[in-house]
Structure 1
Amino acid sequence: MKRCKLQPSVWERKAAQRPEWRRLIHDRVTDFETERRRHTAKSTGSAAETAAKSKRLKYSALEATYDFVPVAVETAGPWGREARELFRELGKRLREKGSDPRSESWLVQQAYTREREAERLRERIVSHGFRVLFAYVAASEWFLATGNTFRDMEFTEYRGRSTIGKIVREVCQAIWKSLLGKGIPSITKNLLEQIADEFFKNTNFPNCIGALDADEGLPLTNNIMRPYPGKHLTIQQRVFNYRLSRARRYVECTFGILANKWRIFHRPLNVQYNFATDIIKACGVIHNFVISRDGIKPSEELLIHDGFSDLHHSTNYISSTNPVNIRNEFCKYFSSDVGALTWQLSKI
């Protein structure tokens, strides 16, 4: 039987590796796709035929130079038509070479046996991999949800602190990549208008799309409002400060709900800056995903209460003319008949 060239030159590797004729291309499909399941439901072996057509299309450039035969075998057992014809031809040649009428059946049986053994090995590897992956995810979620340190988990996970830290960081990065599209929507004009409408309904603060904590540490800009500084303020300015503080409370409530669910934020993170960023991003995106699916459940353990604390003011700030005018317009609006609240004077 003439020796065949098993691998085209387009896949040739370094000369130091095995001789070319001993290498074999192995490009397999590991699972049934949905479309192939539908084909299998129609007739036996249809999934293998679909996979064979896909492989022939993928390697169509080889047919001009090589005799390419896709060998497709379903997990359930059936072989593709071209695979059956190939092994019949090989069995025929073996039979002619050795005069053994059982050569064809023996060849097919050996190939099928090796495929079953390989499939069972793959199943064991995949099963073990899923168990390890589940353990990694569970350990990471336990770290984020309980706030335990790596030293605490060292005794429960039977792994070193550095190993646990590496696992948690890899899982956090995977969570961010997997849930980014579901947990954080793309910013559009319609989304921002919807956020502004909802924010106004809840806070009575117009044209606002969000709140930042520690607003006295931020500069006054066209897009960021901060309180009037000083103690000797007019009633209108004190009303503005109250309304701004009332709107800002929502970010504190948001962080309280977040920290109540992910108690890693009850303590200093005690990790490097990039690692801390991965933790914050993962908790934020998975928190949004859970809320979008299950909604917000009331809890008595929120970190902040619903009351209003005393307003604190800073005397140091830098502003420009335009931001000052914007703040003054808000100040006038909150004391006007249109924008005033009935109880606001009792809160200043």
Structure 2
Amino acid sequence: MDLGRCYEHVTSFVMLYYLRRQKSRTRKMSARRRGYWTHPMLLKRPTEGFFALHYADLRRYPQNFFNFTRMTTPTFDYLLEKLHPRLDRMNTDMRRSVPPEERLLITLRFLASGVSSTSLSHFFLLGTSTISGIVLDTCEAIWEELRSSAMPVPDTSMWQEIANGFWKKTQFPNCVGALDGKSIRIQMPPGSGSQFHNYEKYFSLVLMAICDSNYRFVAVDIGANGSNADARVFSASQMGRRLLEGHFNLPSDKPLPGTEGPDMPHVLVADEAFGLSQHLLRPYGRHNLTTPKKNFNDRLSRARRLIECTFGILSSKWRIFHTTIQLSVENAQLAIQACCVLHNVIREKEGVSVEEEDEIDLPSVRFTGLRPNNSVFLMRDHFANFFMSPEGEVPWQYQHV
């Protein structure tokens, strides 16, 4: 066979291949083609959708509104005022846009209930993809528009104010926050391998957070919890690196209250899952505890309890944390960030109820820290000895709090 005939056969084969491929694509596109521009059920939204029928009634009954959105009407109106420019959309000749009030209501219901976009689609009579887009856009707006006011980056004076609050509430000196990490269950990210697979054998993100004495988040960090993350998930996080490298803008060292020295650093308190470091205190081991060490563990637990309560309040209000979040990793991070900001906004506007403080149900994360040097052990011993002194005793009126 000469080269010309060979070239013709190859060309015919290539053309036949592409023709068959094009026909296959056409059949698939035809199969996926929607039967309606807008489904007849969704056309009833202006008159029969939940927003049209019940939004005004919800506002007339504060308790019902609170149960649906997990916040009071004034707090909802505050959020709407702040987010309105980001949520407002133009109407077109083809269709009317979803108003900002409905967008915010849909997102709050998604976070408060943990139900799927499909369920909300039947509820609000909007397409599933429309619901998903509204939730993600609104979560992004909440994080970007409210973060600077609800969760500002702490400066030295803010850290000092937090330390004053911990000393007044828990009698733990030089404490600038309580630290802990919780696993948030997510669906398996495609092609992720073991990056998000934790020691409990499910896929998750780690929500690392610091709180103040008023159950508000001071800083949050959301990252992967891979199979090898047990050893260094905190030190590898952005929050951990900033703390260990001294980029947290913490106040200068100062003596503990009522003493003349030596100067002690300002610290975060955490449980035994974290490693001991210059600015991070953890309890003594449970074996062979002396009285000063046992007293130190009790006092540290008193301060660390605040972050457990903060996580409990967060998860009891936003039920999305009780389910597997059916979003991509990036979108799940947005939803978690939005919940943390909303938590702070509600704490500021509505305060904390006593009942909320005992709700704790998020799984903790295991950590193993680096081996500290001797100076860090001596620093912890100094705190322990201070708690045994008259200056460090818990006043009698706080002993059973």
Kindly indicate whether residue 237 of structure 2 is the aligned counterpart of residue 182 of structure 1.
no
Give the whole-Å Cα distance in 1 for the aligned partners of 2:278 and 2:119. Answer: 47
* From 221, 234, 239, the counterpart of 2:295: 239
Q: Which has the higher contact order (CA 8 A, sep 6+)?
A: 2
Number of the residue aligned with 2:312: 256
- Give the conservation status (yes or no) of the 8 Å contact 2:159–2:176: yes
* From 229, 254, 268, the counterpart of 2:285: 229
Give the whole-Å Cα distance in 2 for the aligned partners of 1:167 and 1:315. Answer: 40
2:333 counterpart letter in structure 1: T
* From 333, 351, 356, the counterpart of 1:296: 351
**Could you state the TM-score of these two structures normalised by the residue count of structure 1?**
0.54
- Give the conservation status (yes or no) of the 8 Å contact 2:275–2:369: no
* CA deviation profile, 1:283-339 (whole Å, cap 9, x unmatched): 1112222332x231425355438xxxxxxxx99973221221111111111111110
The offset of 1:247, in angstroms, is: 0.5
For the pair shown, the structure with the greater C-alpha radius of gyration is: 1
Q: How does 1:65-104 map to 2 (within 5 A)?
A: none
Q: How does 1:145-294 map to 2 (within 5 A)?
A: 145-159=112-126, 161-213=128-180, 215-292=271-348, 294=349
Kindly indicate whether residue 390 of structure 2 is the aligned counterpart of residue 337 of structure 1.
yes
SS at match of 1:210: strand
Number of the residue aligned with 1:103: none
Give the whole-Å Cα distance in 2 for the aligned partners of 1:161 and 1:302. Answer: 36
SS at match of 2:375: helix
Give the whole-Å Cα distance in 2 for the aligned partners of 1:162 and 1:226. Answer: 46
Residue ranges of structure 2 left out of the alignment (5+ in a row): 1-88, 182-270, 361-366
* From 300, 321, 327, the counterpart of 2:380: 327
The offset of 1:163, in angstroms, is: 4.3
* CA deviation profile, 1:165-220 (whole Å, cap 9, x unmatched): 33312210111111122211242211111111011101111111110126222111
The offset of 1:340, in angstroms, is: 2.0
Give the whole-Å Cα distance in 2 for the aligned partners of 1:184 and 1:170. Answer: 20
* CA deviation profile, 1:109-131 (whole Å, cap 9, x unmatched): xxxxxxxxxxxxx99659x7664
- Cα distance, 1:123–1:163 mapped onto 2, change above 3 Å: closer
Give the whole-Å Cα distance in 2 for the aligned partners of 1:327 and 1:272. Answer: 42
Residue ranges of structure 1 left out of the alignment (5+ in a row): 1-121, 306-313
- Cα distance, 1:268–1:192 mapped onto 2, change above 3 Å: same
Give the whole-Å Cα distance in 2 for the aligned partners of 1:298 and 1:286. Answer: 16
Alignment RMSD (CA, Å): 3.2
Give the whole-Å Cα distance in 1 for the aligned partners of 2:96 and 2:375. Answer: 59
Q: Name the structure where helix makes up a greater proportion of residues.
A: 1
Count of residue correspondences: 215
- Identity over aligned residues, as a percent? 36
* CA deviation profile, 1:41-79 (whole Å, cap 9, x unmatched): xxxxxxxxxxxxxxxxxxxxxxxxxxxxxxxxxxxxxxx
- Cα distance, 1:303–1:266 mapped onto 2, change above 3 Å: farther
- Cα distance, 1:202–1:174 mapped onto 2, change above 3 Å: same
Give the whole-Å Cα distance in 1 for the aligned partners of 2:313 and 2:279. Answer: 26
Q: How does 1:127-146 map to 2 (within 5 A)?
A: 131-146=98-113
- Cα distance, 1:233–1:249 mapped onto 2, change above 3 Å: same
- Give the conservation status (yes or no) of the 8 Å contact 1:143–1:149: yes
Give the whole-Å Cα distance in 1 for the aligned partners of 2:322 and 2:166. Answer: 27
- Give the conservation status (yes or no) of the 8 Å contact 1:220–1:226: yes
2:140 counterpart letter in structure 1: Q
Give the whole-Å Cα distance in 2 for the aligned partners of 1:123 and 1:230. Answer: 62
Give the whole-Å Cα distance in 1 for the aligned partners of 2:322 and 2:358. Answer: 9
- Give the conservation status (yes or no) of the 8 Å contact 1:229–1:316: no
SS at match of 1:209: strand
1:300 counterpart letter in structure 2: E
- Cα distance, 1:189–1:130 mapped onto 2, change above 3 Å: farther
SS at match of 1:213: strand
The offset of 1:229, in angstroms, is: 1.3
- Cα distance, 1:326–1:268 mapped onto 2, change above 3 Å: farther
SS at match of 1:217: coil
Number of the residue aligned with 2:247: none
- Cα distance, 1:193–1:315 mapped onto 2, change above 3 Å: closer
Give the whole-Å Cα distance in 2 for the aligned partners of 1:186 and 1:123. Answer: 34
2:110 counterpart letter in structure 1: F
Give the whole-Å Cα distance in 1 for the aligned partners of 2:387 and 2:125. Answer: 59
* CA deviation profile, 1:15-50 (whole Å, cap 9, x unmatched): xxxxxxxxxxxxxxxxxxxxxxxxxxxxxxxxxxxx
